[in-house]
Structure 1
Amino acid sequence: MGRTQLLKLLLSVVILVITLMVVEYQIGWYSLLTSWQGFSAGTLALLVVLSLCSNALRALRIKISFELPAERYPQMFYLSTNHNLLNNLLPMRTGEVAFPVLIKRYFGIAVVASTSHLLLYRLLDLVALLSIAGVLALWQSDQVISVVIMLMTLFGLLLFDRGKQLVVWLLGRFSSPKLAKLAQAFSDLPTRGGHFGAIVLTTYAVWLTKLLAFLGVVLQLSQLTLAQAVTSVAIADLSSILPIHGIAGSGTFEAAFVLAGKLYAIDTTALLTVAVQLHLFLLLMSFVAFLLGWLVAKIFSRQTTLKTGTE
């Protein structure tokens, strides 16, 4: 491990420790964890199902995007949950590296091709998160602006193919074999027609289920309005792209949530309390989804082995 990587790791550990200490001093971990007793079993089960559905839809997006066979969906689900868990645990989005590695291992898809698809996912994720959050946050106060956001989003999605063509043209200006491969990978991306439309719809379904689960946690555990909750959740989620944060996103996730809530002049302690609870829910569901994905993949692998053996 290089000196720079070691310093980043140490900084991540320091941020985690500081976060744990601040939460204990401001709130108290015991009172924070016992507040979950206010959830009814039915409500908690619904939020868990919504969160797992979001993971299942991410796997469906992979199937649609690469046009993979439906019978191998269990492997896609495991791949997706594994990738999601690493993204939530590792700093600076380094968990993204898992996606091309895993998809090459399970499906033999080249790293350049899978990386270009991953970039498409992330651009669509950003569009979906911002547009859904914008509409939800503003719908009650200004429906006209909400409709404008919808129309601008639709127009932006229609420009994806033009943007791809521009990138391919720019890459083609260089006489490099590696850039030529990258240009070809971008050229092959589905950015128009029914194929692209299916990827877009699946992406929006991913974010609707994820945001509903997160908003359910926030609204149940706080007095925030829908607009306040949506703003804080969206900005907290975007904090994952920051270059430095604590282990498993600790510190920056909570700080982003609190800063967003301060736009509405909400008490800092109240915001920190629900931010930590939401972060714990996010991490717990990442582990649950990963374990479920691992189990499903194991069962699928065993059934495939038995079927091959009987034939």
Structure 2
Amino acid sequence: MRRAQLLKLLLSVVILLITLAVVEYKIGWYSLLTSWQGFSAETLAMLAILSLSSNALRAWRIKISFELPASRYPRMFYLSTNHNLLNNLLPMRTGEVAFPVLIKRYFGIGLMSSSSHLLLYRLLDLVALLSVAGVLALWQLNAMAAVGLALVTVAALLLFDRGKRVVIWLLGRFSNQKLQQLAQTFAVLPTRGGHFSAIVIVTYAVWLTKLLAFLGVVLQLSQLTLVQAVSSVAVADLSSILPIHGVAGSGTFEAAFVLAGKFYAIDTTALLKVAVQLHLFLLLMSFVAFGLGWLVAKVFYREGVLPAEAE
């Protein structure tokens, strides 16, 4: 392991230990964990179903974008839950590497093609998260502003294909063979028509179910309003793009949630408490989804791998 990688790992562990100590000092882990007793079994089941539905929809997005046979969906679900768990556990989005590796193993899809699709997913995820959270937050304050944001989002999605064409044109100006190959890969990426529309619709379904599950946790465990909860949840989720995290995203997730809540002058300790509880829910559901994905893949596994693409 390189010295820089070792230092980052040590820093991640230090951030985790600091987070654990701060939570114990400010709140107390026993008090924090026992507060979940206020949830009814029905509420917990509903939140779990929403969270698992988000994972199931991510797998369906893979099926749609690569036009894979529905009979292979169990493998897609396992791949999606595996990828999601690694992303939540590993720092600096290094879990993203699992996606092209796993999709090549299970479906024979080339690394460049799968990576370009993953890039499309992440761009659409960002648009969906910001627009859904923005519309929900603005609707409480100004319905016209919420409608305006929705229209701007639609316009941005309609420009996706034009943006891709610009990127392809820029790549085409270089004589490098790899860049030329990348341009060819982008050229076949679905960014318009019914194919693209289906990917967009499923992406929004992914984020609606995920945000509803997260908001259910936050609103049940705190006195935050819907606007405050949406803002804090969105900023906390965006913290995953930061270059440094504690182990399993600890520290930065909570700090982002608290920072967003402080905009509304909410007590820091109260924000920290719900941030940690939401993070625990996220990690727990990641493990549950992974276990379910593994089980589904085992029970419904079918022999055979699709022909490999030429890179």
TM-score, structure 1 normalization: 0.97
Task: Deviation per CA, 1:23-80: give whole Å up to 9, x if none.
Answer: 0000000000000000000000000000000000000000000000000000000000
Q: How does 1:170-185 map to 2 (within 5 A)?
A: 170-185=170-185
Q: What is the CA distance between 1:275 and its match in structure 2?
A: 0.1
Question: Moved runs in structure 1, 4+ residues, more than 4 A?
Answer: none
3-state secondary structure, aligned to 2:244: coil
**2:145 aligned residue:** 145
- RMSD over aligned CA atoms reads 0.5
Task: Deviation per CA, 1:206-242: give whole Å up to 9, x if none.
Answer: 0000000000000000000000000000000000000
**1:118 aligned residue:** 118
Segment of structure 1 superposing worse, 216-225 or 136-145: 136-145
Give the letter aligned to residue 47 of structure 1: L
CA distance in 2, matches of 1:73, 1:177: 35
**1:65 aligned residue:** 65
2:295 paired with 1:300: no
Give the letter aligned to residue 36 of structure 2: W
Q: What is the CA distance between 1:140 and its match in structure 2?
A: 1.5
**1:308 aligned residue:** none
3-state secondary structure, aligned to 2:140: coil
**1:41 aligned residue:** 41
Task: Deviation per CA, 1:134-168: give whole Å up to 9, x if none.
Answer: 01011011001100100000000000000000011
**2:250 aligned residue:** 250
**1:309 aligned residue:** none
Give the letter aligned to residue 162 of structure 2: R
Give the letter aligned to residue 255 of structure 2: A
3-state secondary structure, aligned to 2:223: coil
2:105 paired with 1:105: yes
CA distance in 2, matches of 1:189, 1:136: 31
Q: What is the CA distance between 1:177 and its match in structure 2?
A: 1.3
CA distance in 2, matches of 1:97, 1:207: 22
CA distance in 1, matches of 2:288, 2:25: 29
CA distance in 2, matches of 1:41, 1:182: 50
**1:161 aligned residue:** 161
Q: Can you give the 5+ residue segments of structure 2 that lack an aligned partner in the other structure?
A: 304-311
Give the letter aligned to residue 141 of structure 1: L
3-state secondary structure, aligned to 2:224: coil
TM-score, structure 2 normalization: 0.97
CA distance in 1, matches of 2:185, 2:66: 12
2:19 paired with 1:19: yes
**1:210 aligned residue:** 210
CA distance in 2, matches of 1:279, 1:246: 12
3-state secondary structure, aligned to 1:139: helix
Give the letter aligned to residue 260 of structure 2: A
CA distance in 2, matches of 1:167, 1:105: 29
Give the letter aligned to residue 3 of structure 2: R
3-state secondary structure, aligned to 1:140: helix
CA distance in 2, matches of 1:104, 1:245: 28
CA distance in 1, matches of 2:110, 2:281: 34
Instruction: Using the aligned pairs only, state the percent identity.
Output: 82
CA distance in 2, matches of 1:182, 1:77: 27
**2:260 aligned residue:** 260
Give the letter aligned to residue 60 of structure 1: W
3-state secondary structure, aligned to 1:191: coil
2:32 paired with 1:32: yes
Give the letter aligned to residue 157 of structure 1: L
Task: Deviation per CA, 1:263-282: give whole Å up to 9, x if none.
Answer: 00000000000000000000
3-state secondary structure, aligned to 2:23: helix
**2:76 aligned residue:** 76
**1:221 aligned residue:** 221
3-state secondary structure, aligned to 1:243: coil
Aligned pair count reads: 303
